[in-house]
Structure 1
């Protein structure tokens, strides 16, 4: 059927929440949003049961989930990660790599191109995010030091030319050649993002002017105020606050950033310039216990406990196991953020940062019908991509689809 109608829900729009609202969808696009419960003969109807009807969540930084990592380099891994995150309300995600060898990265890139068209049961892919290997060794975090190096123009220009779906690249901007790389990427409409960096304000400002307008997993693996030769310098954290238009992303699992920092980011940067990301590794959606960060072939052993991935000696975090619903729930319960702003931070804001806001990120006529339905506790009841139901909690919806 070409028509889908969702009714009897609280619709979260960019400007308000419509109580007892309905959405009409035709051929995967939104054609009507409001209070009018338009009768359409033959339409598939979904009773939202008074729950919230929100834009589908957009996760712009994902490594894995459901026991898989994108760098496992198998079609099954790509498709199962997409399916896993869809069960938590995500309708679009950005597959993300880790610092690795050139051959391994090329396999991931080639696989993305071949698997993208067959992804029908999970969150859609919104371009590929390369994280590394051009990082500061001082801020490597859980990135494998065997592969960390300075930007290589021949390497990155070849990748950009051959793989046009690369839409984002995370880099330490203070490295030799990194500013020039940022300018090159910006000219190609690829987002250069500041990450795993020991830069000071002056270096960040120069990088920002060359296209580094976004900060990857804000606070994690980046410099704050430091003292060098007795003088204090502002780091990347302070720089992101000082540069008003710089956007940031935060892992709002309540662990990478505790509640006071979640509140601070929201207070200073606001919902318009803060995106929520899972930065999820393979153990997202899985039981706690031993796991692997990165590929099965040469990834790093980690331990999942207390809702986060840790190095085996427990000296540092080694990745997130968050899901999108948990991020929204935490911003509300831990940071006192209003529901509509918490939703905006994982829908409209990432869509704007990625430049896909003409098609996604809000429930507006003409946009893709990417929708998530959830209750007061942000428990996901249904996920819809391009007007097709790809996940439903049978407990809530067995009797609601007509």
Structure 2
């Protein structure tokens, strides 16, 4: 039985940040909070913080690789790049693509899960598309307009068959034809049905919620809000989500996509347990690249880096991010004044709960020892995955 003692750490527990104390890990598990030093192998945290490992439920790639590259090697590269920055669990995300590319994405995940020693870091798949609104640039965002298409039940059946239970969330626009049936299929397959890249009114969004849409993808971005449509002012997805207590949200926490006041408003209205922080990271994240492709190398969208964020070359839209979860932590706690406990919920326990991962996301005896050690300025020093210090 292996053992590792973390000494002199301020542990970010669900309801408190402890004074400096010890924590004992045995094998993969948090064994004892407040343990005595009995001579085990140890790491001196030196009064820094120990967070639960970050859980990113919307992430396209990193380290120069995109999950849509369709190879196990791309999965390995991206997972390892983000693991170094504290993301111990993630949900690889596809984007609007050809049917064959989506099949390739799923098959690459299966290969990665079968062969990689980092396989337990990826816990299911997220399909962002291809069934979106294509009526204007603001809803389409960086999705490939020529590949956005009507809901196809034949395609859905084939993708579900290929995935064999690995799809855990799927995004669509709730106002498009057959979206209610799409939501029903998601529910039947234990898939989180999320609204994204949508031009829906509040009434259309509410009908979507009643049909089974339960989550909003990158809230505030590529979703509608209060605006004038012709001669009529209408509410949008943002207002509908605020009015529906059962709907959860995710926010891109890169300090660019969502202003501080909007993060604070979401937390105030929805409550701190209903809001997740994500990166929406592209292949450019964790690198010094200044341009690249969002999505596959063949059919992906060209993006550039400008002012710390990925954008379309014509500057008409953001296009994913270059964010990592350690940067998200700093944005929330330092730039936006969000408390440490709330930030930990947004980046760890809330997304873990959303995807029904019961033994991660919190520092608790009996839970997996997925931990991130930082200094007092939230710089990552050590990442521990299932009780082992990562490379």
**TM-score, length-scaled by structure 1:** 0.92
Could you tell me how far 1:123 is from its partner in structure 2?
7.4
Q: Which residue of 1 aligns with 2:36?
A: 37
Could you tell me how far 1:345 is from its partner in structure 2?
0.5
Give the Cα–Cα distance (whole angstroms) in 1 for the partners of residues 183 and 45 of structure 2.
45
Query: How is 1:293-372 mapped onto 2 (pairs within 5 angstroms)?
Result: 293-356=294-357, 358-372=358-372
Q: Which residue of 1 aligns with 2:22?
A: 22
Give the Cα–Cα distance (whole angstroms) in 1 for the partners of residues 274 and 336 of structure 2.
16
Q: Which residue of 1 aligns with 2:200?
A: 199
Tell me which of 131, 135, 141 is aligned to 2:132: 135
Equivalent pairs, count: 387
Query: How is 1:201-280 mapped onto 2 (pairs within 5 angstroms)?
Result: 201-228=202-229, 230-280=231-281
Could you tell me how far 1:121 is from its partner in structure 2?
4.8
Give the Cα–Cα distance (whole angstroms) in 2 for the partners of residues 249 and 99 of structure 1.
19
Could you tell me how far 1:165 is from its partner in structure 2?
0.7
Could you tell me how far 1:27 is from its partner in structure 2?
2.2
Contact kept in structure 2, 1:90 and 1:324, CA below 8 Å: yes
Give the Cα–Cα distance (whole angstroms) in 1 for the partners of residues 345 and 49 of structure 2.
14
Give the Cα–Cα distance (whole angstroms) in 2 for the partners of residues 112 and 383 of structure 1.
23
Give the Cα–Cα distance (whole angstroms) in 2 for the partners of residues 73 and 282 of structure 1.
13
Q: Which residue of 1 aligns with 2:96?
A: 99
Could you tell me how far 1:196 is from its partner in structure 2?
0.3
Q: Which residue of 2 aligns with 1:52?
A: 49
Give the Cα–Cα distance (whole angstroms) in 2 for the partners of residues 25 and 174 of structure 1.
49
Could you tell me how far 1:17 is from its partner in structure 2?
1.4
Give the Cα–Cα distance (whole angstroms) in 1 for the partners of residues 71 and 233 of structure 2.
47
Contact kept in structure 1, 2:107 and 2:162, CA below 8 Å: no
Could you tell me how far 1:66 is from its partner in structure 2?
0.7
Give the Cα–Cα distance (whole angstroms) in 1 for the partners of residues 158 and 70 of structure 2.
20
Give the Cα–Cα distance (whole angstroms) in 2 for the partners of residues 293 and 165 of structure 1.
22
Contact kept in structure 2, 1:263 and 1:336, CA below 8 Å: no
**TM-score, length-scaled by structure 2:** 0.95
Give the Cα–Cα distance (whole angstroms) in 1 for the partners of residues 192 and 69 of structure 2.
25
Structure 1 residues 228 and 306, CA gap change in structure 2 (3 angstroms): closer
Q: Secondary structure at the match of 1:350?
A: helix
Q: Which residue of 1 aligns with 2:288?
A: 287
Contact kept in structure 2, 1:93 and 1:123, CA below 8 Å: no
Q: Which residue of 1 aligns with 2:179?
A: 178
Tell me which of 61, 66, 74 is aligned to 1:64: 61
Give the Cα–Cα distance (whole angstroms) in 2 for the partners of residues 117 and 274 of structure 1.
32
Contact kept in structure 2, 1:3 and 1:27, CA below 8 Å: yes
Contact kept in structure 2, 1:85 and 1:123, CA below 8 Å: no
Contact kept in structure 2, 1:82 and 1:123, CA below 8 Å: no
Q: Is 1:76 the equivalent of 2:76?
A: no
Structure 1 residues 352 and 283, CA gap change in structure 2 (3 angstroms): same
Could you tell me how far 1:38 is from its partner in structure 2?
4.7
Give the Cα–Cα distance (whole angstroms) in 2 for the partners of residues 99 and 198 of structure 1.
17
Give the Cα–Cα distance (whole angstroms) in 1 for the partners of residues 50 and 333 of structure 2.
17
Q: Secondary structure at the match of 1:321?
A: coil
Give the Cα–Cα distance (whole angstroms) in 1 for the partners of residues 114 and 347 of structure 2.
24
Contact kept in structure 2, 1:123 and 1:385, CA below 8 Å: no
Please list the CA deviations of residues 315-355 of structure 1 after superposition, one character each: whole Å capped at 9, or x if unmatched.
22122000001111111223221111111100011011111
Please list the CA deviations of residues 77-131 of structure 1 after superposition, one character each: whole Å capped at 9, or x if unmatched.
1101001101111100110001000001101101101111333358700210000
Query: How is 1:158-173 mapped onto 2 (pairs within 5 angstroms)?
Result: 158-163=158-163, 164-173=165-174
Q: Is 1:156 the equivalent of 2:156?
A: yes
Could you tell me how far 1:76 is from its partner in structure 2?
1.8
Q: State the Cα RMSD in Å.
A: 1.6
Contact kept in structure 1, 2:172 and 2:179, CA below 8 Å: yes
Gaps of 5+ in 2: none
